[in-house]
């Protein structure tokens, strides 16, 4: 069974009197455990495909099977449940709540579970484990403005992991990061893909970032124009080992608990 399987997917938007055809009959399959990079120029359809794959939008026609279930025509509340339980999202802009600690940000998806909700202790346990898995064991109670850009993206990745999804969707996850931090973030994705078998769908316009994946799909004018394995894959762990040691982080100390409560 495929994690993602789309058949003759189309998406049209009406812009005044004009119809924009963002996707024009896209068909592809993604197997469990693949690390797929999707690239293409602006307007190629890659972002529209990501929104549909992430159950953030529905196609105009065609079918989308997620873990074997046709989700292409589900109502909005069902799509929201599928998003929460099966997909972890990582975006370019981090999308963290600015007045909430790293721990509370990571716990957030657990609060939205419609059924089988987690008690406070279990939410804390899962969020701490997720933060520890991305190297933020000492940053649980820091606010986003007390973290570097790379650390904020790690919090976002931990938040994506906390519901133990089968699929992570990463939309330009290194767009706001410097070179070293970008390599570190891609190293986390490679490790999660290899060690946990999580399927990663990466949307990027940067070919050097796409080369951390195992498969490259190119979009143009709403269609898939090429789909091939990445033969010379970049290895983030090796690249980091070859770089000079990083400068120590300079961040503020976490606020006292009373201040954090007041901030809410």
Which of 24-28, 73-77, 128-132, 235-239 has the least mean pLDDT?
Answer: 73-77
Range of the domain at 15: 4-263
State pLDDT tens for residues 131-161. Answer: 999 999 899 999 999 999 999 999 999 999 9
Number of domains composing the chain:
1
The pLDDT assigned to 246 comes to 77
Helix (H, G, I), strand (E, B) or coil at 74: coil
Tell me what pLDDT residue 254 has. 58
- The mean predicted confidence, pLDDT, of the chain is 91
pLDDT category at 258 given cuts 50, 70, 90 is very low
CA neighbor of 109 nearest in space, from 88, 131, 78 = 88
Measured distance CA(255)–CA(143) in Å, rounded: 8
Instruction: Read off the pLDDT of residues 79-95 as tens digits, 9 standing for 90 and up.
Output: 988 998 899 999 999 99
Task: Give the residue-averaged pLDDT of 70-82.
Answer: 90
Residues 54-77 have a mean pLDDT of 94
CB within 8 Å of 239: residues ≥ 6 apart:
183
Q: What is the dihedral of CA 171, 214, 233, 38, to 10 degrees?
A: -30
Position 120 scores a pLDDT of 85
How does residue 117 score in pLDDT terms, banded at 50, 70 and 90? low
Backbone φ/ψ region at 96: left (φ over 0), alpha (ψ -120 to 50), beta: beta
Per-residue confidence (pLDDT) for residue 261, from 0 to 100: 40
The C-alpha atoms of residue 137 and residue 155 are separated, in whole angstroms, by 11
CATH of the domain at 249: 3.40.50.300
Q: What percent of the chain has pLDDT over 90?
A: 78
Residue whose C-alpha is closest to residue 53's, from 169, 164, 160: 169
Predicted TM-score (pTM) of this structure: 0.89
Using DSSP bridges, classify how beta strands 223-229 and 215-220 pair: parallel, antiparallel or unpaired.
antiparallel
């Amino acid at each position: 069974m495929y994690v993602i399987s789309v058949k003759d997917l189309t998406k049209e938007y009406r812009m005044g009197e004009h119809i924009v055809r963002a996707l024009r009959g896209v068909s592809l399959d993604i197997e469990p455990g693949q690390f797929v990079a999707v690239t293409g120029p602006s307007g190629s359809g890659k972002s529209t495909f990501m929104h549909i794959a992430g159950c953030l939008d529905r196609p105009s026609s065609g079918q989308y099977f997620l873990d074997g279930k046709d989700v292409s025509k589900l109502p909005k509340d069902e799509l929201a449940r599928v998003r929460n339980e099966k997909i972890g999202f990582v975006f370019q802009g981090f999308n963290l709540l600015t007045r909430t600690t790293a721990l509370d940000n990571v716990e957030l998806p657990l609060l939205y579970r419609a059924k089988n909700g987690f008690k406070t202790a279990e939410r804390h346990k899962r969020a701490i484990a997720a933060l520890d898995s991305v190297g933020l064991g000492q940053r649980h109670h820091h606010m986003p403005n007390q973290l570097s850009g790379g650390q904020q993206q790690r919090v976002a990745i931990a938040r994506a992991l906390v519901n133990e999804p089968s699929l992570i969707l990463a939309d330009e996850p290194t767009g706001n990061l410097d070179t070293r931090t970008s390599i570190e973030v891609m190293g986390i994705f490679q490790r999660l893909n290899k060690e946990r078998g999580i399927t990663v769908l990466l949307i990027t316009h940067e070919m050097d970032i796409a080369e951390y994946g195992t498969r490259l799909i190119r979009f143009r004018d709403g269609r898939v124009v090429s789909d091939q394995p990445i033969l010379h894959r970049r290895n983030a762990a090796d690249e980091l080992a070859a770089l000079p040691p990083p400068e120590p982080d300079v961040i503020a100390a976490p606020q006292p608990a009373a201040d954090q409560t007041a901030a809410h």
